[in-house]
Amino acid sequence: MNFYAFFAQLVALAVALVMAPILNGWVNQCRAWLQNRSAPPLLQTYYTLSKLFHKDVLLAHNASSLFRSAPYIIFSCMALASAIVPSLSTNLIYSPAADAIALVGLFALARVFIALAGMDVGTSFGSLGSRREMLIGFLAEPALLMVFFTASLISRSTSLSTIVETLAHREFVIYPSLAFAGVAFSMVSLAENARVPIDNPTTHLELTMVHEAMILEYSGRHLALIEWAACLKLFAYSCIGLALFFPFGIPEAADPVSLAIAGAILMLKLAVGGFLLALVETISAKMRIFRAPEFLGTAFLLAVLAMLVHLLLEAGQ
């Protein structure tokens, strides 16, 4: 059993690393279709990454060691995060570590480093981006925590695998609180992953960019790692969302057969999720940065509501 758990953990990590850029490519492809453009290939992100890996790193002469180490830290945070999310099985070797609050902390750690790195060189764009990123993070994290708390209240545990187990293997009950939390989580994910209503991953317009502004000074393999980490972050968020709100098909066992089935189901869910993300990005317009607090405030509100609704409507049942 333990071996299976170890094996499943390895598979999960590998799937995350491989699938993340593909998911990114898929979203871009869907978006291109929806906008009536000719789509880039599905593996485009890989081409970009390999191109970047082959390029030389160009460092600003006043860049510190923090600037150089940040991409590795960010990448490993994201890789760890996407590995511990129970997307394929709830019986992973890291399952005990997969605590909802720890996960939020992991994302926060990555955020701190990317923001520090953004300011490290001392360009105005970098600090601007960092400032905006911290603003968004400051608002998004409480909402994310609230979402996790709601799910934790339902399953009486903050361990992700326990939550998913409870939610996936219960009899069918409508949880209005989960619906609210789901909406809140989607909104937070959009903000956290620098997606359209808050940020645009494809823009380099100085007035609007957030994520891109911070990584403007990066090049070569550093940039590749950061891009990959961004893909992993999207993948991790998608998996968390799927695990919390559509947990059906995530097995408890970790044997190869159920892993394979779970993998197939995950692909399907990710494909649908990616398409929906592209749809959202297509039909909504980017907000001014000053509207972001309102957007995230709404997310927070929804998450709080989810918790209240749970306490009132569902606690006694």
Q: Where are the alpha helices (DSSP H) in 121-174?
A: 124-155, 160-168
Q: Per-residue string for binding with other proteins, 154-183, x by CB under 8 A?
A: -------------------xx-xx-xx---
Contacts with other proteins by CB under 8 A: the residue count is 21
Between 56 and 171, CB nearer to other proteins: 171
Q: How far is the CB of 13 from other proteins (least distance, A)?
A: 37
Shortest Cβ 146–other proteins spacing (Å): 11
Q: Which of residues 178-207 bind other proteins (CB under 8 A)?
A: 179-180
Rounded to a whole number of angstroms, the minimum distance from the CB of residue 98 to other proteins is 28
Shortest reach from residue 311's CB to other proteins, in Å: 7
283 part of the interface to other proteins, by CB under 8 A = no
When asked if residue 293 is in the footprint of other proteins (CB under 8 A), the reply is yes
- Within a 10 A sphere around the Cβ of 66, how many other Cβ atoms? 13
> Please, which residues have CB within 8 angstroms of residue 230's CB and are 6 or more apart in sequence?
24, 78, 193, 194, 201, 211
Rule CB under 8 A: say whether 138 interacts with other proteins: no
**Which burial class, exposed, middle or buried, applies to 96 when counting CB atoms under 10 A from its CB (0-12, 13-18, 19+)?**
exposed
DSSP string across 163-202: HHHHHHTS-----HHHHHHHHHHHHHHHHHTT-TTT--TT
From 105, 151, 139, 156, select the one nearest 246 (Cα to Cα): 151
Q: How far is the CB of 177 from other proteins (least distance, A)?
A: 7
Which of residues 225 and 305 has its CB atom nearest to other proteins in the complex? Answer: 305
191 burial type by CB count under 10 A (0-12 exposed, 13-18 middle, 19+ buried): buried
Shortest spacing between CB 190 and other proteins, in angstroms: 17
Q: How far apart are CA 85 and CA 236, in angstroms?
A: 7
Question: CA-to-CA distance for 158 and 152, rounded, in angstroms?
Answer: 5
Task: Give whichever of 206 and 294 is closer to other proteins, judged by the CB atom.
Answer: 294
Which of left, alpha, beta for 172 (phi over 0: left; psi -120 to 50: alpha)? Answer: beta
Q: Which amino acid is at 75?
A: F
- The mark string for 294-313 relative to other proteins (x by CB under 8 A, - otherwise) is x--xx--xx-xx--xx-xxx
Residues at the site binding other proteins, with contacts judged by CB under 8 A: 173-174, 176-177, 179-180, 293-294, 297-298, 301-302, 304-305, 308-309, 311-314, 316
